[in-house]
Structure 1
Amino acid sequence: MGTSRLTIYLLRNVSQPDDAIAHDKTPQSQTLDPSSGLDGKFYYSSRPADPPAWVSFVQPILSSSLQSVKTSSASGLLVMKAVNRYFALTFGYGRGFINPSKVEHQFGLRVALNRIDPRHIRSLDTKTFEDMVVTKNTQSSKSSELPTFGVDVSRDMLRAVTGEPRDKTLAKRLSGSDALVLNVEILPTDLPKLCEDLFEAFQEDTYKSNFEWIDHLALVTDAESVSKLNALLEKQLVAGDTSNTHLAMPEAIDWEDVDAFRIGGTRKEEYEDLDLDDYLGRLGQDKSEITIERLRSRHVSVRFSRSNDFDSRWNVYQCLVTEQRLGSQLHVLIEGRWFVVSDSLVAKVDQFASALPASTTTLIESRAGEIEAKYNARLADSAPSDLLLLDARIKRPGGASSGIELCDVLSSNGEFIHVKRKTRSATLSHLFAQGTVSATTFVADGTFRDELRKVVEVETEEPQRTAWLDMIPDGKSFVDRSRYSVSYAVIANSTRSGTDWLPFFSKLNLMQNGQQLLNLGFRVSVSRVAITP
């Protein structure tokens, strides 16, 4: 008996196999042979053979026709019942038949975490949530423990895991996200027993011993709270308010293979990327008719360069990422599910951010539409004897292959001022990380400081030159860290008080970088730069 690669989903709210099929899909189907002992239905479709897309590209330079070169695709989906639940096994492109709202989220992930030996992990997929979603896949050359993968347990959400199970009779390797993928020697008639075992693993909480941190985000199961949160989001989208919300793919895909997207509600228009403002703009007046149910029924499809067809992957609601406060609690919408962030984490982050002072430098207002480079130049010109423009003065540390910018503007009182305009398309993570990297390099690398001193000598005149050179010790001198502070200046149009103008996950990133800087002996400040209409 050969090994079969199975991709298994657990379904929810399904009382008969047809309930699992997406409303706009019409695959052919067959009932199962009663003698098999399986209760379910099989769905399938195939496409006639066509020339692959690359044929039309290379044909003009060939001496003969590639008419015989053709490719076709087939899709299969087995929906079967076990332990009073329905499971779906996909073959080829069969996943496209499934109604996404019928999939039990994290089924495969929970099974994998409860069965994988934590000492034998091969890869992790994580998501970091800020102004944008950063998806990472980290693999090891051999099975390793969790610390090998550099996961930040306070802000990373585990999306998928691959590893070796403790019980090798189950499978040689397990991969789990929403689906569970495993290679196993099995007869089709034994599938109900396999699904029974997987469902048992899904219900366990063994994962808490090594992966308890994944519960920092707790799933909201209260229907009334979900309804209120959806109402808040719906109202904002109808008004065109995307300050707390953006679109992101629920899973990692190979970007080099992506040709275009389609988003339901805008006919057959194609998108280069998933952009919420672009989508709302194309909806036009139809934006006023947005409802959560409509967003759930509208598909997001992707066309890969290897195919001429659009593959329906998700619905619009699954692709929305947003932060909403309900009462005193912070909630986030991720992959079509609402999570409440643990109160202890929110309190810790808010306490840290609110305790940071503002910059001691008088930061001028930004002008509407002004790029950061122009703002930095105007800021430096506002106090030429006290502020030195270092924007884009990128210097390499000793032996480094790439350069580092110390800061955008250096103040005479030792502030490394880093400026960033907060937009819906740019994350602040780079800003906060830049402050940590540049400050660390300034202390540790004498070559870097010597390069900066050359900039000062060229771009300043006496008597300021001597003062600026004193601010940047040469490569052989001691650096007194207590003289310096890292100052984050964020250009943002907001009326919110304190640091509430920063998204929660950005504040979490600020806290992590800020703590590193404080531990290194630097002072840290954060300021909001107002925008002049």
Structure 2
Amino acid sequence: MSRMVQPQSEGDLMARKPSPVTAVTLYQLHGPPSLGRHIRERYRESDDFETREVVVGGRRGILLLGATPAKTPAWVSTLNGWLPTDDLPELTNQNAAACLLLPRRDGTDTWAICFGLGFHLLEAARIVPGMGRSLAIRTADPIHLKSLTHSRLDSRAYVARTSMPGGDDLDAFGIGGVADLVTRMVAPARLPGTTSAEDTSRTHEVRGADSVKLPLANTQSALIRDLDVVEDLLALDPVSELAEIEQLSELKPKDPRLSQLEELLDGALGDASDDRVGLAWPTEAADIAVPIHHLIVEGAPRGHTGDRERPAILETIIGPVRDLPSGHRVRRLRSMRVMAFTDIDDAASSLVPARRWIVAEFEHEGHRYCLHDGRWFEVDQRLTDRISARLTRLFDVQSQLDALPAWSTGDEAEYNQALAETLGGVCLDRQLVRTDQHSRGFEACDVLTREGVLLHVKKVDRSTPASHLFAQAAVSTEALLTDHQARGRLRELVTANGGDPSWVRERPTEVALVMARPRKITPEDFFSFSRVRLARLADEADRLGVPLTVHWVPLEAK
């Protein structure tokens, strides 16, 4: 059926005036332009790709372009099975790619402008991580964000990509916690000084992750000017509403800093006095709210294969690798596996690589890096300051509890019993509340007072994870607030232990974290991600309307 084509109006013709810009994908690469450094070997040596030295706007660069050999798509064989083969034309795929390497203004780094599958040509280890995200944070409209890809690092692992066609702010995306890692942003942005900004009637969309998709000029001189403007924009402070996004970033697998951090970790593992390494639950076990009795380690070096059941302390994990030669400790930690068990020999976790059971923190070349759940992160000082401010307020919260007795025995069960007697409450240490929602059970608290205060108690140092204490408190508080069955089962436990069921309120009157060690505990005494977990627990307690308090009790020598 034919269709009449209406003549174009003058307005239509004006609207189709060629744009002075084209949306391209831009990367920043470490070091000045170099074919050997920045382009993968398989492409720079392929007969299907051509390399040229070029001059663009007065700057010397390198252009690589070509296409992958034509291939018959895999789905053609499926069609051939369904239909007569002589009825089908020959079908092939060929992917074109181009990459233009140009030096930045100061010549220290390189811009890579990619077309088609040009990003496949780049050597991943040379890509400056998060450059596109950094540009978006400095130029995006903070109240009209279109899409965010983010993960949360202090709870069960997940990655979410959330889109809002109309745009909204960070709060609408559920971002704003101290452990939110945003890896990709899509948002409208003004790019003042660039060619695209000359059209004030239009706001362009920026898509930023490691790379950034943005409009750049079509002419040589204007392209160089646009790249210089991008360089200037990256030097600006972030938009205030988006600044927190930049305070936590994960190092990519081929980041050159990783080898340096792995060397630092290997050295720390060989030194029993190095307190930059600690024990922590891996992410998938972060919500364990039952007491851990022992660990089982598989794959330990010869000479460390004695009793399978070992205490849930740092030495169980890193002791077997300490005497290995330098360079072998980290490698062995990757191959070892660890599983946690309760005191009734129930598995409380899966068999997880030993590396994910430790945390580490190092100051390196003026930056702070943290190993968490087997991955390395750079933590900005602003995030550290922000968490410290939040925890300082938490440590200053007033409590119903009077001064608590010192921990004069090494046995946790004995201390909890003495604490319950001192407070006139009931000891529920290692007694689990089992419900339909929590079939494995959870420890509601170690001590419950007559006034409805839940006390969670632990002897804490860097060899035993405070994060498990925080997880226990988080799971218990939420369950007792939202699950009528959980409150009923807790009342039964309280009665069975000689207490009064009325002590279990509809809402706990206070949740108290009681930590024992020889010297007073401060917010700075925890590893960064333990502090993150505690800060999020405090925020969640505020949301639930339950006071959360922190208490230090002296740990006296035996």
Fold match by TM threshold 0.5: yes
Q: Which amino acid aligns with 2:511?
A: S
Distance in 2, matches of 1:237 and 1:95, equals 38
Normalised to the residue count of structure 1, the TM-score between the two structures is 0.57
**Quick check: 86-95 or 115-124, which moved more?**
86-95
Query: 1:394 is paired with a residue of what secondary structure?
Result: coil
The 8 Å contact of residues 249 and 377 in structure 2, kept in 1 or not, is answered as: no
The 8 Å contact of residues 50 and 70 in structure 1, kept in 2 or not, is answered as: yes
Query: 1:104 is paired with a residue of what secondary structure?
Result: coil
Structure 1 position 511, deviation (Å): 3.2
Q: Pick the aligned partner of 2:473 from 408, 420, 435.
A: 435
Provide, for residues 460-518 of structure 1, a one-character-per-residue CA deviation record: whole Å limited to 9, x for no partner: 76783xx3412124x6xxx5x54x4344789xxx9998467742222133134236647
The 8 Å contact of residues 126 and 136 in structure 1, kept in 2 or not, is answered as: yes
The 8 Å contact of residues 22 and 215 in structure 2, kept in 1 or not, is answered as: yes
1:235 equivalent to 2:285? Answer: no
Residue aligning to 1:6: 24
Residue aligning to 2:289: none
Provide, for residues 273-318 of structure 1, a one-character-per-residue CA deviation record: whole Å limited to 9, x for no partner: xxxxxxx9xx9999734799x9xxxxxxxxxxxxxxxxxxxxxxxx
Change (3 A) 1:76 1:515: closer
Point out where structure 1 has 5 or more consecutive residues left out of the alignment: 220-224, 249-279, 295-319, 367-374
Query: 1:14 is paired with a residue of what secondary structure?
Result: coil
Provide, for residues 141-188 of structure 1, a one-character-per-residue CA deviation record: whole Å limited to 9, x for no partner: 421123322322644354332101236758641111221024779589
1:411 equivalent to 2:411? Answer: no
Distance in 2, matches of 1:436 and 1:489, equals 16
Q: For 1:459-498, what aligned pairs fall within 5 Å after superposition?
A: 464=498, 467-473=499-505, 481-482=508-509, 484-487=510-513, 498=521
Please, what is the CA RMSD of the aligned residues? 6.3
Distance in 2, matches of 1:430 and 1:141, equals 39
The 8 Å contact of residues 217 and 226 in structure 2, kept in 1 or not, is answered as: no
Q: Which amino acid aligns with 2:368?
A: H
Distance in 2, matches of 1:395 and 1:118, equals 42
Distance in 2, matches of 1:161 and 1:390, equals 46
1:20 equivalent to 2:55? Answer: no
1:341 equivalent to 2:373? Answer: no
Residue aligning to 2:291: none
Residue aligning to 1:210: 241
Residue aligning to 1:297: none
Query: 1:288 is paired with a residue of what secondary structure?
Result: coil
Structure 1 position 339, deviation (Å): 4.8
Q: Which amino acid aligns with 1:210?
A: E
Q: For 1:265-284, what aligned pairs fall within 5 Å after superposition?
A: none
Q: Pick the aligned partner of 1:332 from 348, 365, 369.
A: 369
Change (3 A) 1:403 1:76: same
Point out where structure 2 has 5 or more consecutive residues left out of the alignment: 1-17, 251-256, 283-317, 332-357
Change (3 A) 1:503 1:65: farther
The 8 Å contact of residues 117 and 165 in structure 1, kept in 2 or not, is answered as: yes
Q: Which amino acid aligns with 1:452?
A: R
Residue aligning to 1:181: 213
Residue aligning to 1:524: 549
Residue aligning to 2:99: 78
Q: For 1:49-128, what aligned pairs fall within 5 Å after superposition?
A: 49=71, 52=74, 74=95, 76-81=97-102, 84=105, 85=107, 86-91=110-115, 93-126=117-150, 128=152
Residue aligning to 2:299: none
Q: Pick the aligned partner of 1:387 from 410, 427, 432.
A: 427
Provide, for residues 220-243 of structure 1, a one-character-per-residue CA deviation record: whole Å limited to 9, x for no partner: xxxxx9999776335236779994
Provide, for residues 324-349 of structure 1, a one-character-per-residue CA deviation record: whole Å limited to 9, x for no partner: 2579x982258988555247446536
Distance in 1, matches of 2:359 and 2:100, equals 30
Change (3 A) 1:405 1:463: closer
The 8 Å contact of residues 429 and 506 in structure 1, kept in 2 or not, is answered as: yes
Change (3 A) 1:322 1:13: farther
The 8 Å contact of residues 390 and 410 in structure 1, kept in 2 or not, is answered as: no
Q: Which amino acid aligns with 1:332?
A: Y
Q: For 1:257-406, what aligned pairs fall within 5 Å after superposition?
A: 288-289=326-327, 322-325=360-363, 331-332=368-369, 339=379, 341-342=381-382, 344-345=385-386, 347-348=388-389, 351=392, 386-388=426-428, 391-394=432-435
Query: 2:136 is paired with a residue of what secondary structure?
Result: helix
Provide, for residues 40-73 of structure 1, a one-character-per-residue CA deviation record: whole Å limited to 9, x for no partner: 2215562563775x999x99xx789999999867
Change (3 A) 1:234 1:217: same
Distance in 2, matches of 1:487 and 1:431, equals 8
Provide, for residues 399-438 of structure 1, a one-character-per-residue CA deviation record: whole Å limited to 9, x for no partner: xx9999682655355453568999x9x9987964663575
Query: 1:123 is paired with a residue of what secondary structure?
Result: strand
The 8 Å contact of residues 362 and 368 in structure 2, kept in 1 or not, is answered as: yes
Normalised to the residue count of structure 2, the TM-score between the two structures is 0.55
Residue aligning to 2:344: none
Distance in 1, matches of 2:134 and 2:217, equals 22
Provide, for residues 111-153 of structure 1, a one-character-per-residue CA deviation record: whole Å limited to 9, x for no partner: 2233322221112334555599765544324211233223226
Q: Which amino acid aligns with 2:132?
A: G
Change (3 A) 1:352 1:417: same
Distance in 1, matches of 2:467 and 2:176, equals 14
The 8 Å contact of residues 321 and 332 in structure 1, kept in 2 or not, is answered as: no
Q: Select the structure of larger CA radius of gyration.
A: 2
